[in-house]
Amino acid sequence: MHKSVQDIVNMKKDGKKISVITSYDYTLASLCDKAGIDILLVGDSAGMVMLGYENTIPVTMEHMCMFTESVSKARETALLVADLPFMSYQASIDDAIRNSGRLIKAGADAVKLEGGSVMAETINSIVDVGIPVMGHIGLQPQTTMLFQGYKVQGKTKDTALKLIQDAKALEEAGVFSIVLEMISHEVAEIISENVSIPTIGIGSGIRCSGQVLVVQDLLGMYDKIKPKFVKRYMNLSEDILKSIGNYKKDVESGTFPSQENWFSMDKEELDKLRSEIGN
Ligand code: KIV
């Protein structure tokens, strides 16, 4: 039995911190789920860490459905949330509902979309058809290139007020939780105290109800950028590079494979074969 949206909402009420990690593939998702992570987020950060794009803009519904299917086969206990990619929900409410439905059919329990009060009507319509929604305010990677740039949000009174209003508008629209990305920790704390739903921080300080990191960042597998808010728990790229280098050396020197890695015929069958082919 996996966690429900209500279980996540109750965690805030019970004063329990919520752990969230991004997942895109079966193998890593199984490990995250076994480790007891509360929410697996199929983020559109897949565009960078899985598909090698510069940003999340090129990510399609087809990509997100494929990643969601793989993760859904792996998860046993976590809640599974999937991102609606750029332009899958902005053009019309019909698009937003239909594409949310596609992610649910692919195995998600809820969808996430970026935007503040401007998205309230869309969120309300998705929730109305029975699909739980996670909001996402602060730095919004899908539009950051166009407007904000990669910088901390909510550093002035006016931008902070707007973020607080956005969070309240999303709560009213029916989201079950909100990601707060790269918001000054003071504003993230004020938002967390002023909404009843959980806030999930990324680069937004300790007072959020939970935290999210991109799995490749925390495992030290993605070196292109290293934001200040990332904590690396290991340096997996180093171990992977070493292991693959050792494999290459073994292949070249003929020390791999060895007897324990290959399969044999019965001696009698082999003798018969040799005599038949005169070898
Ligand atoms: O796409 C993503 O990975 C995200 C999280 C970092 C919040 O939206």
> In this structure, what CATH number is given to the domain that contains residue 111?
3.20.20.60
The CA distance from 235 to 240, in Å, is 9
The CA distance from 252 to 259, in Å, is 17
3-state secondary structure of 124: helix
* Same domain for 251 and 123: no
C-beta of 179 in contact with ligand 1 (< 6 A): yes
Q: Is 181 a catalytic residue?
A: yes
Closest to 3 (Cα-Cα) out of 265, 261, 153, 198? 198
22 in Cβ contact with 42 (< 8 Å) = yes
Mutate to test the pocket of ligand 1, among 48, 112, 225 (most ligand atoms within 8 A of CB): 112
Report pTM: 0.95
Q: What is the pLDDT of residue 223?
A: 82
* Same domain for 227 and 252: no
User: pLDDT-derived band of residue 144, with 50, 70 and 90 as boundaries?
Assistant: confident
C-beta of 85 in contact with ligand 1 (< 6 A): no
* Same domain for 159 and 218: yes
User: pLDDT-derived band of residue 148, with 50, 70 and 90 as boundaries?
Assistant: low
Number of domains in the chain: 2
Domain that holds residue 27: 5-234
* Same domain for 247 and 194: no
C-beta of 183 in contact with ligand 1 (< 6 A): no
* Same domain for 226 and 208: yes
53: Cβ–Cβ under 8 A, 6 or more apart, which residues?
47, 59
Q: Is residue 224 over pLDDT 90?
A: no
* Same domain for 41 and 117: yes
* Same domain for 35 and 162: yes
Q: Which of 114, 171, 181, 189 is catalytic?
A: 181
| Degrees to nearest 5, angle at CA 127 with 124 and 133 | 100
* Same domain for 111 and 19: yes
* Same domain for 131 and 253: no
Write down the mean pLDDT value for the chain. Answer: 96
pLDDT digits (tens, 9 = 90+) for 226-277: 889 999 999 999 999 999 999 999 999 999 999 999 999 999 999 999 999 9
Q: Which atom of ligand 1 is nearest to the CA of 22?
A: 3
* Same domain for 259 and 174: no
First to last CA, the chain: 59
* Same domain for 247 and 229: no
* Same domain for 221 and 244: no
The DSSP secondary-structure symbol of 18 reads E
